[in-house]
């Protein structure tokens, strides 16, 4: 199987790309490196080529190890990527590339709508008849602050930012393209993803990664509000697993949406207590609650279990231990 991973040098995309290689896939990545880092692919063989030089590399390369990842640096709807899609080089496209900064989307709704919505529609359009399936990375942010928990996929939508609305709009276009153009798209709504290859200043930063960053630097940990807010935290390797299960499913999705979470929530206070027990001398700075912050997230996972046979392999604690190891906090 041949895959294109857009945003494949980022936090989630790099984990997915490596797991695809482990499963025997031939992987190409396109990433403009706005949120990516080549170091996230360490311990794997990869070659970087500017996207506009892709065709030249292809002409000159006598042979290529199928396990070597080709990283095309540039835009995911550049002329060269479109050519490769139209030439039917990929069986599946995993579309993770996005501008994920919520606050930035509030300040720049036009620019981020172009990046996150219109360019995705372009990707869909060029893929018609040329790929087996697209796996789109959506977000639980489409629910806003949900009335019901665990939250089912058919729960009402109330996006609180242009970013969340853009994700919801793409889901709607996915249904349309599946019906009107026979392009099979699966939309995976990630809950709160954490794990290695996530820095404290990442646009995906959770309280967990922010606190890891502070522990590493010997700084106080910031706790917003009263700490009772809860999150369904899912480890990044489990998210990658869900993507691969979706890619391998025989039945079409036709734009269907599936929650990717654990079905368990933990409060910030509970996670903070784990940090305090793990590391000595932890200090906490209490801060006001962040305006507009969602109070609780909790995924209903029944559909993922039924449709994908997806069951997370990592508990919060085992995921935290792997994350601490990546940060080398176990040396503290």
CATH number at residue 214: 3.90.25.10
Query: 74 and 156 share a domain?
Result: yes
Query: 11 and 95 share a domain?
Result: yes
Domain end among 245, 260, 275: 260
Query: 100 and 241 share a domain?
Result: yes
User: ∠104-109-111 over CA atoms, to 5°?
Assistant: 85
> Which pLDDT belongs to residue 249?
98
> Which pLDDT belongs to residue 216?
92
Query: 61 and 172 share a domain?
Result: yes
Residue 155 included in any domain: yes
**Residue in 96, 100, 177, 196 with CA at minimum distance from that of residue 131:** 177
Query: 147 and 111 share a domain?
Result: yes
Query: What pLDDT tens digit does each residue of the chain (332 aa) get?
Result: 999 999 999 999 999 999 999 999 999 999 999 999 999 999 999 999 999 988 887 777 656 788 899 999 999 999 999 999 999 999 999 999 999 888 889 999 999 999 999 999 999 999 999 999 999 999 999 999 999 999 999 999 999 999 999 999 999 999 999 999 999 999 999 999 999 998 877 666 788 999 999 999 999 999 988 999 999 999 999 999 999 999 999 999 999 999 999 999 999 999 999 999 999 889 999 888 876 678 899 999 999 999 999 999 999 999 999 999 999 997 65
Report the SS3 class of residue 269.
Answer: helix
Which residue, chain included where needed, has tokens 């249904």? 175
Residue 306 included in any domain: no
Yes or no: say if 96 and 197 are a contact pair by the CB < 8 Å rule: no
Yes or no: say if 192 and 231 are a contact pair by the CB < 8 Å rule: yes
Cα–Cα distance measured from residue 243 to residue 246, given in angstroms and rounded to the nearest whole number? 5
Residue 302 included in any domain: no
Residue 307 included in any domain: no
Residue 83 included in any domain: yes
Report the SS3 class of residue 24.
Answer: coil
Query: 249 and 280 share a domain?
Result: no
Residue 175 included in any domain: yes
- Domain span including residue 208: 197-232+264-297+314-331
Strand pairing class (192-194; 185-190): unpaired
**Residue in 105, 16, 34, 22 with CA at minimum distance from that of residue 73:** 34
φ, ψ of residue 282 to 5 degrees: the values are -70, 130
Query: 239 and 228 share a domain?
Result: no
Query: 116 and 220 share a domain?
Result: no
> Which pLDDT belongs to residue 62?
55
Query: 33 and 159 share a domain?
Result: yes
**Residue in 139, 129, 135 with CA at minimum distance from that of residue 99:** 139
User: ∠115-120-124 over CA atoms, to 5°?
Assistant: 165
Element containing residue 319 per DSSP (H, E): helix 316-327
Yes or no: say if 168 and 139 are a contact pair by the CB < 8 Å rule: no
Query: 287 and 159 share a domain?
Result: no
> Which pLDDT belongs to residue 202?
67
Number of domains in the chain: 2
- The tokens for 210 are 């922010």
What does the buried/exposed string (b/e) look like for 230-263 if buried means 16 or more CB atoms within 10 Å of the residue's CB? bbbbbbbbbbbbbbbbbbeeeeebebbbbbbbbb
Residue 157 is part of a domain; what is its CATH number? 3.40.50.720
Query: 154 and 58 share a domain?
Result: yes
Helices 119-127, 162-181: crossing angle, 10 deg rounding: 20
Cα–Cα distance measured from residue 324 to residue 271, given in angstroms and rounded to the nearest whole number? 13
Residue 217 included in any domain: yes
Query: 141 and 282 share a domain?
Result: no
Residue 309 included in any domain: no
């Amino acid at each position: 199987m041949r895959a294109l991973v857009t945003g494949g040098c980022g936090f989630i995309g790099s984990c997915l790309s490596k797991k695809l290689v482990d499963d025997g896939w031939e992987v190409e990545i396109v990433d403009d490196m706005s949120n990516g880092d080549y170091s996230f692919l360490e311990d794997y063989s990869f070659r970087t080529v500017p996207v506009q030089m892709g065709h030249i590399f292809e002409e000159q390369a006598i042979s290529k190890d199928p396990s070597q990842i080709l990283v095309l640096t540039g835009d995911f709807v550049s002329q060269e990527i479109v050519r490769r899609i139209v030439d039917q080089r990929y069986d599946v496209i995993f579309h993770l590339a996005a501008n994920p900064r919520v606050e930035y989307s509030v300040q720049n709704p036009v620019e981020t709508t172009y990046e996150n919505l219109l360019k995705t529609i372009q990707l869909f359009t060029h893929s018609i008849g040329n790929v087996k399936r697209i796996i789109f990375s959506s977000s639980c942010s489409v629910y806003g602050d949900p009335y019901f928990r665990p939250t089912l996929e058919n729960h009402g939508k109330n996006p609180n930012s242009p970013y969340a609305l853009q994700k919801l709009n793409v889901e709607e276009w996915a249904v349309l393209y599946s019906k009107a153009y026979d392009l099979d798209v699966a939309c995976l709504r990630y809950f709160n993803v954490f794990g290695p290859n996530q820095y404290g200043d990442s646009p995906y930063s959770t309280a967990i990664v922010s606190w890891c960053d502070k522990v590493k630097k010997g700084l106080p940990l910031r706790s917003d509000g009263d700490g009772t807010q809860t999150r369904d935290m899912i480890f990044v390797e489990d998210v990658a697993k869900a993507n691969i299960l979706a890619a391998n499913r025989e039945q079409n999705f036709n734009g269907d949406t599936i929650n990717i979470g654990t079905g368990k929530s933990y409060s910030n206070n509970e996670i903070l207590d784990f940090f305090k027990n793990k590391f000595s001398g932890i200090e906490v700075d209490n801060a006001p609650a962040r305006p507009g912050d969602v109070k609780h997230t909790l995924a209903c996972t029944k559909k993922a279990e039924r449709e994908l046979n997806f069951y997370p392999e990592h508990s919060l604690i085992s995921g935290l231990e792997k994350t601490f190891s990546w940060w080398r906090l176990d040396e503290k």
